[in-house]
A and B are shown apart, each in its own frame.
Chain A
Amino acid sequence: MLPAPAPVINSTTAEFWKATTEGRFILQRCDACDIVLWFPRRNCPKCWTENVSTFDAQQTGTIYSFTVVRKGTGAFKDAGPFVIAYVELADGPRIMTNIVDCDIDALHIGMPVEMVFHDTGEGSALYRFRPASR
Chain B
Amino acid sequence: MTIRGAAYVAGIYEHPRRDIPDRTLFEIHTEVALGALADAGLAMSDVDAVFCDGTAGFGPMSLVEHFGLRPSYFDSTETGGSSYLAHVGHAAAAIAAGKCSVALITLAGKPRTGRHEVSFASGSDAGFESGWGIAGAPHTYALAAQRHMYEFGTTSAQLAEIKVAASIHAQYNPNAYLPYAVTVEDVLNSPLVADPLHRLDCCVVTDGGGALIVVSPEVARSLNRTSAKILGHGEAIKHTNNGGIDLTYTGAVWSGPRAFAEAGVSVADIKYASIYDSFTITVLQTIEDLGFCEKGQGGKFVMDGGLVAPFGKLPFNTDGGGLCNNHPSNRGGITKVIEAVRQMRGEAHPAVQVPNCQISLAHGTGGSLGSKHGSVTLILGQEDA
- Quick check: B242 and A84 within 8 Å, CB to CB? no
- Quick check: A65 and B133 within 8 Å, CB to CB? no
The contact of A67 among B128, B135, B139, B240, by CB within 8 Å, is B139
Q: Using C-beta atoms within 8 Å of the partner chain, give the interface range for chain B.
A: 35 or more
1/0 contact string of A23-46 vs chain B (CB within 8 Å): 000000000000111111100011
Which residues from 31 to 74 on chain B have a C-beta closer than 8 Å to any C-beta of chain A?
A: none
Q: Nearest Cβ distance between residue A16 and chain B, in whole angstroms?
A: 9
Do A79 and B133 contact each other (CB < 8 Å), given the known contacts A39-B128, A65-B144, A95-B128?
yes
Which residues from 109 to 161 on chain B have a C-beta closer than 8 Å to any C-beta of chain A?
A: 122, 124-129, 131-136, 139-140, 142-144, 146-147, 150
Do A65 and B191 contact each other (CB < 8 Å), given the known contacts A39-B125, A85-B143, A86-B245?
no
- In the assembly, what is the distance between CA of A2 and CA of B133, in Å? 9
Which residues from 65 to 110 on chain A have a C-beta closer than 8 Å to any C-beta of chain B?
A: 65-70, 72-76, 79, 82, 84-86, 89, 92-98, 109
- In the assembly, what is the distance between CA of A89 and CA of B128, in Å? 14
Query: Closest residue of chain B to A27, judged by CB?
Result: B243
Query: Closest residue of chain B to A42, judged by CB?
Result: B124
B178 on interface, CB distance cutoff 8 Å: no
Please indicate the chain A residues that have their CB under 8 angstroms from the CB of B125 in the complex.
Answer: 39
Query: Closest residue of chain A to B246, judged by CB?
Result: A94
Please indicate the chain B residues that have their CB under 8 angstroms from the CB of A92 in the complex.
Answer: 243
B350 on interface, CB distance cutoff 8 Å: no
- Quick check: B142 and A67 within 8 Å, CB to CB? yes
- In the assembly, what is the distance between CA of A39 and CA of B132, in Å? 15
- In the assembly, what is the distance between CA of A2 and CA of B140, in Å? 18
* Residue tally, chain A, CB below 8 Å to B: 46
- Quick check: A9 and B127 within 8 Å, CB to CB? yes
Query: Closest residue of chain B to A39, judged by CB?
Result: B128
- Quick check: A109 and B242 within 8 Å, CB to CB? no
- In the assembly, what is the distance between CA of A46 and CA of B244, in Å? 12
- Quick check: B142 and A64 within 8 Å, CB to CB? no
Which residues from 1 to 25 on chain A have a C-beta closer than 8 Å to any C-beta of chain B?
A: 2-3, 5, 7-10, 12-13, 17
- Quick check: A94 and B243 within 8 Å, CB to CB? yes
A126 on interface, CB distance cutoff 8 Å: yes
Closest 5 CB pairs of A and B: A93-B243, A7-B127, A38-B243, A67-B142, A76-B133
Using a CB–CB distance below 8 Å, which chain B residues touch chain A? Answer: 122, 124-129, 131-136, 139-140, 142-144, 146-147, 150, 191-197, 240, 242-245, 247, 371
